[in-house]
Amino acid sequence: MDTNDVHGGAKPGKTGEAGTAARDFVEATPRRKINRGPVRRATYHRASKGLVRALVAQAVMLGIAVLVCGLLAGWAGAASALIGGCAYLVPNALFALRLLAGLWGPVKTSPYTFFMGEAFKLASTMVVLGLVGWQGSGWIVWPAVVAGLLCVLKGYVLLLIFRKLP
């Protein structure tokens, strides 16, 4: 016969089965319903706003790079800067849309989804830049490609300047 049967329950410090006392405590604790809806919505709204701001800042920086490279190197420089910036901006926008769908839609995101999205961004950027080097060797202005890419990568600088970081 178990000591728990004789004494009518678990003694403090001793349990008949592993975790029985803890399970009994959890089952006996009254559950309160916490309304986290408004807090969760506010958090999702702030995260969504930050993602959209980052994308807009990157697009503005790309526009600046295209304008400056176009003035310095002509249409080839402007097109090269546009291609270099879009090599990162487009995959980044797709990844941001996936994250926004995870925030507001029925499909939730996970750390695996996040790291796969980051890998997708890096791989697609490398593929686009490789294709540019392979196909556009006659007219591509490489300093403009690098300038467009760097301006998009440093788009958060606009958010720092205007103190709009999320």
| Structure confidence by residue, pLDDT tens digits, 86-101 | 999 999 999 988 888 8
- Full-model pTM: 0.70
- Coil, strand, or helix at residue 29? coil
Q: What confidence score (pLDDT) does residue 19 get?
A: 59
Closest CA to 57 of 148, 160, 133: 160
Whole-angstrom CA distances from 40 to 34, 54, 104, 109 are: 12, 21, 11, 15
Q: What confidence score (pLDDT) does residue 21 get?
A: 61
Identify the domain containing residue 94 by its residue range: 43-161
Calculate Rg over the CA atoms of the chain: 27
Model confidence at 162, in pLDDT bands (50, 70, 90)?
confident
First to last CA, the chain: 62
- Note the pLDDT tens digit of each residue in 15-46: 555 556 656 655 666 665 555 566 566 766 67
Closest CA to 65 of 145, 158, 160: 145
Q: What confidence score (pLDDT) does residue 125 get?
A: 94
Q: Between residues 2 and 104, which one has the greater pLDDT?
A: 104
Asked whether residue 4 is assigned to any structural domain, the reply reads no
Looking at the structure of the chain, the number of domains it has is 1
Asked whether residue 27 is assigned to any structural domain, the reply reads no
| Residues in Cβ contact with 98 at an 8 Å cutoff, skipping those fewer than 6 apart | 109, 113, 117
Supply the mean pLDDT for the chain. Answer: 81
| CA–CA gap between residue 49 and residue 120 (Å, rounded) | 23
- Note the pLDDT tens digit of each residue in 77-136: 999 999 999 999 999 999 988 888 877 777 777 888 889 999 999 999 999 999 999 988
Say if residues 136 and 74 touch (Cβ distance below 8 Å): no
Asked whether residue 133 is assigned to any structural domain, the reply reads yes
Asked whether residue 54 is assigned to any structural domain, the reply reads yes
Element (H, E) at 84: helix 37-104
Q: What confidence score (pLDDT) does residue 87 get?
A: 96
Asked whether residue 128 is assigned to any structural domain, the reply reads yes
Asked whether residue 71 is assigned to any structural domain, the reply reads yes
Asked whether residue 30 is assigned to any structural domain, the reply reads no
Name the token pair of 55. Answer: 């994308």
Q: What confidence score (pLDDT) does residue 51 get?
A: 85
